[in-house]
Chains A and B, each alone.
Chain A
Amino acid sequence: MKVSAGPIQAVNDFVVKFANVNGSGSASANLLFAKAILRMGIPVAPRNIFPSNIQGLPTWFEVRVNAAGWRGRRGGVDLMVAMNPQTWDQDLKEIEPGGYLLYDSTKPLPESKFRDDISVIGVPLTEICNREYSDTRQRQLFKNIIYVGALSALLEIDPEEIAHLIGDQYKGKEALLKPNVHAMTIGRNYAINNLDCPLGIKVRRANAVGDRIFIEGNSAAALGAVYGGATVAAWYPITPSSSMAEAFARHCRKFRTEPASGRARYAIVQAEDELASIGIVIGAGWNGARAFTCTSGPGISLMQEFIGLAYFAEIPAVLFDVQRGSPSTGMPTRTQQADVLSCAYASHGDTKHVLLFPEDPKEAFEFAALSFDLADRLQTPIFVMLDLDVGMQDWLCEPLTWDDARTHDRGKVMSYEALEAGEEFGRYLDVDGDGIPYRTYPGTHPKRGSYFTRGTTKDRYARYTEDGATYVDNMERLLRKFETAKGLVPEPVRRDAAHATRFGVIYYGSTAPAIDEALAALAAQGIHLDALRVRAFPFQDSIADFIAAHEQVFVVEQNRDAQLKSLLVNELLVDPARLMPVLHYDGTPITARFISGEIAGKLAMFNVTPLRKVAP
């Protein structure tokens, strides 16, 4: 089949996908490619799609170049850089008709291995490397840089930007700097001398990035924990959360080293398992330090008993759950939002927990800092629900900000002075109706304010009891406290369509960028929806109002069982028929194309006539 429309033509709006072998050093070369385009003022959205493996399995890196700034995955590939023979057939299939293929042409491939509706660009990468380098490791590493060089010519990426980035990366390591720039130049020159440059797709310097920053959600969340005043962190390695603990250690070394002594204003323990991690966090929280753990679904499962203790004994704790493909080991390196229910109701018995859903690294920073105030104020575990797609990918987002007038809210802590003045202290006494009692830190006062913390039933003065009425009194207070939480957690973000509509959409977390783009695309087709981004549980009344105000509300999620929808039905007592799930859970980040297709398809069943046809 020949392409009728010819090769794709696009400036600053295309998708490049790299297919590599894991462990070949490709990820850093591919990130270099993405950053060079970013430095030219053009927004990019990169996604590292990696296997649970150290070496040998296929890995992909997708870069969406998009001047309009859409940060979600688009779907489809315009240029495939196919460097992995194992996935060749699959990779070729993904290329859009009229798209491009860049491959290593050292070994000739039979005609049948290609498609005739795409443009094929061969660069003899292995041959060039074998000629240039004798060391096998260098051959492998520089091969990646050489294709980046070739791409710079094919896509008109400014080679100076690449050279600058290499310079930044190898500052002070001259021995590595020069050969990298050299490898890039070899690739570039090969393309200039042997290929038709540029392709139909290319970049052009723009001014569309502004002061936005490029950061991974886990690093941003870890920095939020620093600003939020966390001093104790306990963790057990698990993808995709490990990089958060590592980033916290890095940020702490930089920001939390006591200048005079060089000593640490923080303590990080790599525990023996997740039970110990959460135990350490609870012990530290009980003793008045701000503490967190970061984990993923399997870790949350192990922490269940302790989470119930923290809820019932009312101990501040922060848990970052970087969600991955589940259940069990599932797809450990793929993204999902499938821990919503297991976190909302974590542990045995009647429990409910505060969840926060950041949409990107910027919000991950903000919610991380906020979570410690919430934990202290509410004296309960707070879950910051990151998705792997937010946690482990670099996102272009607004710069992080901090108001120097802001301090930490340590919640209701009775001081030595208050105790000394004879103020009444009852650890579980609700003095002002918000359901939140006062606590004391151990060691505060020689004679007053000590109490015994336990997981068994107790009265308002923390005395052991098995009396049913006292138990109920306490459980009811915990519900009042959860009501109070509604007024403290981030409000949902509502965005109404340009035209009045009977339809709405609810979404959260990493789905946000794909929704933004899908809604724009649907609006262009004359389909209008009001949108509500849920940012926290417990749900505020405004969420119930939004649902009540629309005949049909789509709930877009990245899990199989429509978990947020279940939580909405359960907690807001809304008619389930009003909520229609749109679910994407194959482990890849949800795309705008998927959402708009699903919603348009479902609305067709309602016989919705688009309000206004807009010429494409």
Chain B
Amino acid sequence: MTYLAKPKLHHPDLAKNKLGYTHRDYEGTVSTLCAGCGHDSISAAIIQAFFELDVAPHRVAKLSGIGCSSKTPTYFLGNSHGFNSVHGRMPSVLTGANLANRELIYLGVSGDGDSASIGLGQFAHSMRRGVNMVYIVENNGVYGLTKGQFSATADKGSKSKRGAINNDEPIDMVMMALQLGASFVARSFSGDKTQLTPLIKAAVQHQGAAFLDVISPCVAFNNHAGSTKSYDFVREHNESVNRLDFMPQHDEITADYAPGSLREVRQHDGSILRLRKLHEDYDPSDRITAMDFLQRRHADGEIVTGLLYVDPDAGDLHVALNTVETPLNRLGASELIPGAAALEKFNATLR
């Protein structure tokens, strides 16, 4: 019975974060995914990121669709409310949840089938609306849970485990997110925790729609030769544009990086993103440059990873709707009911 909760026996000398929580407080139940599944590494990075960010676990709402990837929210942040919704529709459920209470952190977890196939529409529209969230696609190019059919992100010409060739053009969700107005767009690899963890932290701190495409090999169905989402293939073709160090606003700012290779981006909430540049010509503040760069590298067969675009001053759906500061789910009857006298006045206009 692997799905039983781990006993949370806290070892006295486990490291604690600023809130006094240990790493364990950010864990969930034991994963039931295949051993070696990339998704589990992403869960580990999520746990690490929230621990380091000193976020109280119950202030996070985690939402997902359906798939192996969408199952993972049970495997992290066990003290958070979670919602495993329906296939491809996590974005709308998350949007509604976010409208109800603007104060929580919304973490959407999805798969490539969930977001690029059945849920492409909802993915696109949640980006357009600028829902304040972290949207992670655990991208393996296949439908893991239904046993290895191609998803819409599978590269043209890639080979399934059963030998079938994919003839359809792939959807690049990073390109789409850029084009649709996401204000934080990054790509990473489940096998690269040092790159992934700070990216998740920065995405959490970002105010607006943050999209993270994480290539995450499915050991059961696409970790073979001929797959372009296997561990080996990605390691060989990964082209990192930058390395991110993330400074929450309360951290002391130290300058131990050589200037010239460093670029600082101050986000809305005062937190600072420090980009250690691998490519001197890469500018993450320009959407068009990002799209151009991505296309050119793609043509050369490279998978670009890193923080590809960020608009530190982005707004979100609540800004667009001009909603009140108080979460809508906390408004009381006196703020919501106009009352009998107002109704009588209204009646009078209808006579």
Interface residues of A, Cβ cutoff 8 Å to B? 209, 211-215, 223, 226-227, 229, 231-232, 234, 255-256, 258, 261-269, 271-273, 275-289, 291, 305-306, 309, 399-404, 406-408, 440-447, 450-456, 463-464
B58 touches A282 (CB 8 A): no
Q: Which of B73, B92, B321, B350 makes the CB contact (< 8 A) with A276?
A: B92
The interface residues of chain B lying within 8 Å CB-to-CB of A212 are: 351
B273-307 interface mask toward A, CB cutoff 8 Å, 1 = contact, 0 = none?
A: 00000000000000000000000000000000000
B95 touches A269 (CB 8 A): yes
A214 touches B340 (CB 8 A): no
Least distance between A69 CB and chain B CB atoms (Å): 15
Complex Cα gap A404–B333 (Å): 10
Q: Which of A209, A269, A441 makes the CB contact (< 8 A) with B329?
A: A441
Complex Cα gap A453–B70 (Å): 12
Complex Cα gap A453–B122 (Å): 20
Interface-central residue, B57, B101, B344, by most chain A CB under 10 Å: B101
Q: Which of A223, A399, A403, A450 makes the CB contact (< 8 A) with B78?
A: A450
Complex Cα gap A282–B91 (Å): 12
B101 touches A256 (CB 8 A): no
The interface residues of chain A lying within 8 Å CB-to-CB of B346 are: 223, 400
Residues 77 to 111 of chain B near chain A (Cβ within 8 Å): 78-86, 89, 91-101, 103-104
- The residue of chain A having its C-beta at the shortest distance from the C-beta of B62 within the complex is A452
B82 touches A306 (CB 8 A): no
- The residue of chain A having its C-beta at the shortest distance from the C-beta of B56 within the complex is A446
Q: Which of B85, B93, B122, B344 makes the CB contact (< 8 A) with A272?
A: B122
Least distance between A464 CB and chain B CB atoms (Å): 6
The interface residues of chain A lying within 8 Å CB-to-CB of B323 are: 263-267
A286 touches B95 (CB 8 A): no
Q: Return 25 A-B CB contacts under 8 Å, by A number.
A: A226-B336, A264-B324, A265-B336, A267-B318, A269-B95, A272-B121, A275-B89, A279-B91, A279-B122, A280-B92, A283-B95, A283-B98, A283-B100, A286-B96, A289-B100, A289-B101, A291-B100, A306-B86, A399-B347, A408-B337, A442-B81, A442-B97, A442-B104, A452-B84, A464-B3
The interface residues of chain B lying within 8 Å CB-to-CB of A401 are: 340, 343
Interface-central residue, B59, B97, B98, B342, by most chain A CB under 10 Å: B97
B122 touches A275 (CB 8 A): yes
Residues of A contacting B: mostly: loop
Known: A231-B99, A263-B322, A264-B323. 18 other contacts (CB 8 A): A211-B347, A212-B351, A213-B351, A232-B328, A266-B328, A267-B318, A269-B321, A273-B121, A276-B125, A279-B93, A279-B122, A283-B95, A400-B347, A441-B101, A442-B61, A442-B81, A444-B58, A450-B81
A450 touches B58 (CB 8 A): yes
The interface residues of chain A lying within 8 Å CB-to-CB of B322 are: 262-264
Complex Cα gap A46–B59 (Å): 53
Q: Which of B59, B80, B338 makes the CB contact (< 8 A) with A227?
A: B338
Please report the total number of B residues contacting A with Cβ < 8 Å.
61
A289 touches B329 (CB 8 A): yes
Complex Cα gap A153–B351 (Å): 23
Least distance between B350 CB and chain A CB atoms (Å): 4
Complex Cα gap A476–B116 (Å): 37
Complex Cα gap A415–B164 (Å): 54
Residues 311 to 341 of chain B near chain A (Cβ within 8 Å): 317-318, 321-325, 328-329, 331, 333, 335-340
The interface residues of chain B lying within 8 Å CB-to-CB of A463 are: 3
Complex Cα gap A280–B61 (Å): 15
Complex Cα gap A213–B80 (Å): 49
B63 at the interface (CB under 8 A from A): yes
Q: Which of A267, A271, A289, A406 makes the CB contact (< 8 A) with B125?
A: A271
The interface residues of chain B lying within 8 Å CB-to-CB of A209 are: 351
B92 touches A288 (CB 8 A): no
Least distance between A522 CB and chain B CB atoms (Å): 33
Complex Cα gap A267–B324 (Å): 10
- The residue of chain A having its C-beta at the shortest distance from the C-beta of B335 within the complex is A265
B74 at the interface (CB under 8 A from A): yes
Q: Which of A266, A282, A447 makes the CB contact (< 8 A) with B93?
A: A282
Complex Cα gap A256–B323 (Å): 10
A287 touches B92 (CB 8 A): no
The interface residues of chain A lying within 8 Å CB-to-CB of B263 are: none
- The residue of chain B having its C-beta at the shortest distance from the C-beta of A369 within the complex is B337
B95 touches A455 (CB 8 A): no
B161 at the interface (CB under 8 A from A): no
A265 touches B339 (CB 8 A): no
Complex Cα gap A271–B91 (Å): 11
The interface residues of chain B lying within 8 Å CB-to-CB of A453 are: 81-84
Complex Cα gap A283–B67 (Å): 19
Known contacts: A255-B342, A284-B100, A446-B57. The answer to whether A454 contacts B84 by CB under 8 A is yes
Known contacts: A306-B89, A455-B86. The answer to whether A443 contacts B103 by CB under 8 A is yes
B333 touches A263 (CB 8 A): no
The interface residues of chain B lying within 8 Å CB-to-CB of A455 are: 84-86
Known contacts: A279-B92, A404-B340, A455-B84. The answer to whether A450 contacts B329 by CB under 8 A is no
- The residue of chain B having its C-beta at the shortest distance from the C-beta of A255 within the complex is B338
B23 at the interface (CB under 8 A from A): no
Complex Cα gap A182–B312 (Å): 59
Least distance between B315 CB and chain A CB atoms (Å): 14
Complex Cα gap A286–B61 (Å): 11
B224 at the interface (CB under 8 A from A): no
A232 touches B100 (CB 8 A): yes
Closest 3 CB pairs of A and B: A283-B96, A279-B92, A289-B100
The interface residues of chain A lying within 8 Å CB-to-CB of B81 are: 440, 442-443, 450-453
